[in-house]
Amino acid sequence: MPSLSRFCIPEPLSFRRELLAWYDESRRALPWRESTDFYRVWLSEIMLQQTRVEAAIPYYLRFLDRFPTIQALAEAAEPDVLAAWSGLGYYSRARNLHRAARLAGERGLPASYEALRGLPGVGRYTAAAVASIALREAHAAVDGNVVRVVSRLTNGTGEIDKEAQRLLDRERPGDFNQAMMELGATVCVPGVPKCGDCPVLRHCAGHAAGRERELPVRAPKPAVREIALELIVLRRGDEVFLSRRGASEKRLAGFWELPERAGFPKVVAEPAGRFTHRIVNDRFRVAVWTGRTRGNPPGGEWVDPAALSGLPLTTISRKALHLVHNSGPRDL
């Protein structure tokens, strides 16, 4: 085995050259990589917070079709923005995106990393990613993929942020950041990395030490909280009864949702099925019932099914309706 000492600190020039050559040849064709337009880059980075690439793609395309420019987004009503985001989760992202678009309309587009940090919902990583890709500023974007790559490169001995900044290619900062994330997402994956496919394997101290599978060292995850939930799809003709969360709610304020079955003890209900839904450390075990009534129950409104796609609807309710209308749940 080669001496470990020669691996401990990747040599930046050859590392950049080899990584970028691989990225230029092997990168995935993703819709937000077709342009370095500020709005498109910014939107993609906000959507990719807490969301897998594959899940984000259809939402990204639909959202751009609905709001093709920052101005269109700034002029939209919040319920329309939330409806376009519905199903993607973490809805504070959509609200912050909307607020930031309005600020950009008033002040002009951010022209620097520091200006990006002043926008709602834009933290260090997002600011660095957008600044490097859209503005060509030399800021290393350190997400979970990059943490894993750098930890393995340095055998867990380096300071992640400093090492990422040291390795950064100043001439192509946006491509370099995307290459690091691409490497972590497709080759230097969690658990068992695909070291045989790695374009920069000779720089990896973790691999040389035989520790690539144990890096990065992470703190134990908190226990999952199990939550039982019973919902009812209540119909009057073709209409569905929905309630709306209040503006003061901590989560999902203003969203529409199916009511809980316990609120309708006199309705004859039939079981429709079950599914689970995970939100961070909460796992909801959802039982869905169906029933009919002719009245006007308090605390909600009757909604025509054709209007559902235009409403900000909670993901759990969307899954429940899908289960009832399609005879089985699936991940949306």
**Catalytic residue numbers?**
45
The answer to whether the beta carbons of residues 150 and 164 sit under 8 Å apart is yes
* 207 backbone φψ class: left, alpha, beta (φ>0; ψ -120 to 50): alpha
Phi then psi for residue 156, to 5 deg, are: 75, 15
List of residues 6+ apart from 120 with CB closer than 8 A: 95, 96, 99, 100, 103
Tokens representing 44? Answer: 């993609």
The answer to whether the beta carbons of residues 262 and 281 sit under 8 Å apart is no
CA angle, corner 167, sides to 166 and 171, nearest 5? 100
> Under DSSP, is residue 286 helix (H, G, I), strand (E, B) or coil?
strand
Rg value, the chain, Cα = 24
Q: How would you class 235 by CB atoms within 10 Å of its CB: exposed for 0-12, middle for 13-18, buried for 19 or more?
A: middle
List of residues 6+ apart from 327 with CB closer than 8 A: none
Q: How would you class 210 by CB atoms within 10 Å of its CB: exposed for 0-12, middle for 13-18, buried for 19 or more?
A: exposed
Q: How many CB atoms lie within 10 A of CB 225?
A: 11
